[in-house]
Structure formats: structure tokens, C-alpha cells
């Protein structure tokens, strides 16, 4: 028994030691966790190779890098209109068509928010501002993690602002494919047709401007001092683009040097309004009091009710530049009206069984739907409008 007690005591000691070992293990398991390393401060020290291209630079031959790697500085002094008008970015022309970058336009925008350094973050004290490709390599060597390759550099520069401004990041916004086709952009084409016009700053590239729907001007014209301009009508009804009137604008047309919008700007009304309304007399614009919005019936005597109200002006009258009066014959537009395809009930008369199969021109002679229908082809006594070729139906 004594020997058994002894063995048990030894075993207990062993067990205690084991447990201690296990707990000790648990305590030291993760030194990183117990003493979390403080957030690293950024490395300010540079490597020799950041500035020098050779191993042993001397006073005589400092072999300075043509591109300073990090800590790059913009040392030169430049004016925004020094740069080129347009830069064609075509280094990846095998994949994408060249991107035409309106440099001067962007320089103008930059001038209001920080100047050249918005994009050109490195420039020597004298000489020209180096283009992006001088430092950013066309292929991604991944040797300097701080410096993106050319493609990355372009995308970082352009997309940042474009996202903020127009919330656009579709490839097709800037790129055409090498074969000339526009890159598919999943329905993200700019909101208005024709806004790819590079001079259309206001309509396409600029964040949406909320214009006043109606401007009323007081003039010195004695016969009609008030000029009412329905801006909203011109944009939404008549189909004008911003660039139709706001031509050749630059940022400074509307903003001061700090970027703050200027109070208000008046276009030259003779050239702007006259472009479309040159043949009108003064009273077309000038009146004693404010003019109401455009009304088709009041102006032309022909109401658009009920169906034509939904049709855009340009559908019948063509583009604003080629405005014309449409052919009054319904069939000039409605060429597909035929028996079976047209629901006559929409006109207010639902045709009876007998009349349903007849050709349109049996009653509407020569398909002149504006004239009174003629029943004499079949009926001896004049019928319409005393008697209808069917029953009354609600006009739709």
C-alpha cells in the first residue's frame, strides 16, 4: 500500500505539472494579441534608389532618377492655358480606341480648385510639366508598389473626379473599342441624347444644373417691355440641348476664380433667340405682361388632345434646327392604319358588325380623316351624324 501511495503522489505531481504547462501555454499563445503592435507610423526615410539611379552617386555624377518616386513635388510655376488643348491617350490602342482628353478644359476646371497639381503631382522647377507616361510605365512591372503603372495612373486620376461629378464609371464614357465600336456600358450612357458633344459642358459633363423654369425680363422696349422666356419649354418640350444655346462656354463663364458660381449670366439674345426666331416680329417675344407657357391650340388652333399630347414636338416637326409644319393628313404618320389593326372605339364610335370589315376609305374618302365621313357609297339617305355606324363609346 505504501508503494501505491508513493506512486499516486508522483502521478499527482506529474498531473499538476502538466496542467501548469497547459495553462502557461495558453497564456503565452499569442504575444501579438497581448501586446498589440502600435499602428505603424509612415516611413519617412527614403531609399537611395528613390532619387538615384546608380549604386554610388557622386557629386560629379549624381545620376538622379528622371522621376522622383515618392515625396514627389510640383516645383514649377505654370499657367493653366500653357498646356495643350487636347491630349490623345493612345498608349493602349491595341485594346481601346484613343481617348481624347480635353486638356485645356480640365485645366480650366482645375484652376478653380488647386491648379495643375490636381493631376500633375510632380514637376521640376524649370521646364515643362512632364506628362504622366514619363514616370508611369506602360506595363505593370510591380517593382514599386507606390507607383501605379500608366493604365492605373490614368484611371485613378480620371475616375476620381468623374465619379464625384457625374457618378459615371462606365468604360464607354471615355473609351471606344479599337474597332470603333463604343464599349458596352450597360445602359449608363449619359442621360441626354447628343451629349457626347465635347463642347456641351453644361449638359453632359457638368453636374445637373437646375434652371429656373421661366425667366421674366423687364426691357426698355416701349411697345412691349416684358419678355417671358420659358426655359423649361425649350428644354423638355422643344427638345433643345443645353449646347444649342450655351455654346463655347468655359468654367469661368459661370464661375469666378475660386469656383463660386457667378450671380447670373445673360446670353446675347439676338444671336441666341434669333437663331430660331429670326423671322418673327418683336411682339413674338415682347409684350405688355408675362406670356403664358406654349399652348398648341392657342398658337395653332389645333388641340393636341387626346393622343398627340404624349408625342414629342420633334416627332412631327423635326429637330429644332429643321422645324417644319407637318402634313395634316393623318396617314402621313399613321401609315399602318388598316382594317383589323385599328381599334375604332378610341374615336368615340364603336363600329357595328356590318361596318367593322369595311376599308377605312369606304367612309373616310381618300383616307381624309379630318373631313366628315361619307355614307352615300352604301346608304341612300344621309346618315351621319344623325345615325352612327355603331354605338357610342368613351373617347380615349
Partner 1 sequence: MVTRREFLKYTGAAAGTAALVASGAEASTGKTHLDPERIGVLADLTLCIGCRRCEWGCAEQNKLPHGTLQSYDDQAVLKEMRRPDETRFTVINRYPAPAWREQPLDVKVQCLHCEKPACVSACIVGALEKNPKGPVTYDAWKCIGCRYCMVACPFQIPAYEYDNALTPKVMKCTLCSERTLKEGKLPACVEICPREALVYGKREQLLELAHERIAQHPDRYHPEVMGEHTVGGTSWLLLGDRPATEYGIPELPDQSPAILTETIQHGVFRGFTGPLMIFSLLSVLMKSSTDKRKPGQGDSHGDNRDGEDHHG
Q: Cell 385599328 sits at which residue? A: 342
- Return d(Cα 389, Cα 392) in angstroms, integer: 9
- Of 329, 396, 387, 326, nearest to 361 (Cα)? 329
- Residue closer to partner 1 (CB basis): 177 or 272: 177
Phi, psi values for residue 301, rounded to 5°: 80, 5
- Return d(Cα 316, Cα 308) in angstroms, integer: 10
Name the minimum Å distance from CB 261 to partner 1: 19
The sign of the CA dihedral 54, 58, 60, 66 is positive
- Residue closer to partner 1 (CB basis): 70 or 328: 70
Name the minimum Å distance from CB 60 to partner 1: 33
- Residue closer to partner 1 (CB basis): 151 or 367: 151
Name the minimum Å distance from CB 116 to partner 1: 19
Helix (H) or strand (E) holding 154: helix 150-166
- Residue closer to partner 1 (CB basis): 143 or 218: 143
- Return d(Cα 281, Cα 278) in angstroms, integer: 8
The cell numbers describing 127, all together, are 521646364
Name the minimum Å distance from CB 151 to partner 1: 6
List strands edge to edge, sheet with 226-230.
214-218, 226-230, 286-287
- Residue closer to partner 1 (CB basis): 8 or 86: 8
Q: Contact residues for partner 1 (CB under 8 A)? A: 4, 7-8, 11, 14-15, 17-18, 21-22, 25-26, 28-33, 36-37, 39-43, 140, 142, 145-146, 148-149, 151-152, 155-156, 159, 163-164, 169-171, 183-186, 188
What are the counts of helices (DSSP H) followed by strands (DSSP E) for the chain? 12, 7
Name the minimum Å distance from CB 73 to partner 1: 14
Name the minimum Å distance from CB 15 to partner 1: 5
- Residue closer to partner 1 (CB basis): 101 or 384: 101
Amino acid at each position: 500500500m505504501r508503494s501505491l501511495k508513493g506512486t499516486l503522489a508522483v502521478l499527482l505531481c506529474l498531473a499538476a505539472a502538466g496542467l501548469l504547462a497547459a495553462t502557461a501555454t495558453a497564456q503565452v499563445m499569442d504575444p501579438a494579441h497581448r501586446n498589440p503592435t502600435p499602428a505603424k507610423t509612415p516611413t519617412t526615410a527614403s531609399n537611395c534608389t528613390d532619387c538615384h539611379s546608380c549604386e554610388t552617386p557622386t557629386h560629379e555624377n549624381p545620376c538622379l532618377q528622371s522621376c522622383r518616386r515618392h515625396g514627389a513635388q510640383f516645383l514649377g510655376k505654370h499657367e493653366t492655358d500653357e498646356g495643350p488643348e487636347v491630349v490623345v491617350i493612345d498608349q493602349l490602342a491595341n485594346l481601346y480606341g484613343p481617348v481624347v482628353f480635353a486638356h485645356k478644359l480640365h485645366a480650366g476646371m482645375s484652376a478653380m480648385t488647386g491648379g495643375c497639381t490636381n493631376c500633375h503631382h510632380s514637376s521640376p522647377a524649370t521646364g515643362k510639366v512632364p506628362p504622366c507616361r514619363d514616370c508611369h510605365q506602360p506595363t505593370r512591372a510591380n517593382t514599386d508598389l507606390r507607383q501605379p503603372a500608366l493604365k492605373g495612373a490614368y484611371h485613378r486620376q480620371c475616375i476620381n473626379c468623374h465619379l464625384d461629378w457625374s457618378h459615371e464609371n462606365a468604360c464607354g464614357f471615355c473609351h471606344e473599342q479599337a474597332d470603333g465600336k463604343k464599349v458596352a456600358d450597360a445602359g449608363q450612357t449619359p442621360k441626354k441624347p447628343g451629349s457626347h458633344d465635347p463642347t456641351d459642358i453644361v449638359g453632359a459633363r457638368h453636374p445637373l444644373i437646375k434652371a429656373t423654369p421661366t425667366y421674366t425680363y423687364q426691357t426698355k422696349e416701349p411697345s412691349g417691355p416684358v419678355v417671358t422666356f420659358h426655359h423649361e419649354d425649350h428644354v423638355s418640350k422643344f427638345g433643345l440641348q443645353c449646347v444649342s444655346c450655351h455654346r463655347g462656354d468655359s468654367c469661368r463663364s459661370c464661375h469666378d476664380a475660386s469656383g463660386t458660381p457667378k450671380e447670373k449670366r445673360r446670353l446675347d439674345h439676338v444671336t441666341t433667340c434669333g437663331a430660331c426666331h429670326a423671322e418673327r416680329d418683336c411682339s413674338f417675344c415682347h409684350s405688355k405682361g408675362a406670356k403664358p407657357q406654349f399652348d398648341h391650340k392657342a398658337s395653332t388652333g389645333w388641340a393636341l388632345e387626346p393622343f398627340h399630347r404624349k408625342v414629342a414636338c420633334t416627332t412631327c416637326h423635326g429637330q429644332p434646327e429643321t422645324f417644319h409644319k407637318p402634313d395634316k393628313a393623318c396617314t402621313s404618320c399613321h401609315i399602318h392604319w388598316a382594317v383589323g389593326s385599328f381599334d375604332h372605339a378610341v374615336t368615340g364610335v364603336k363600329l357595328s358588325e356590318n361596318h367593322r370589315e369595311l376599308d377605312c376609305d369606304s367612309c373616310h374618302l381618300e383616307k381624309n380623316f379630318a373631313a366628315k365621313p361619307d355614307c352615300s357609297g352604301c346608304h341612300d339617305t344621309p346618315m351621319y351624324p344623325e345615325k352612327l355606324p355603331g354605338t357610342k363609346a368613351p373617347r380615349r
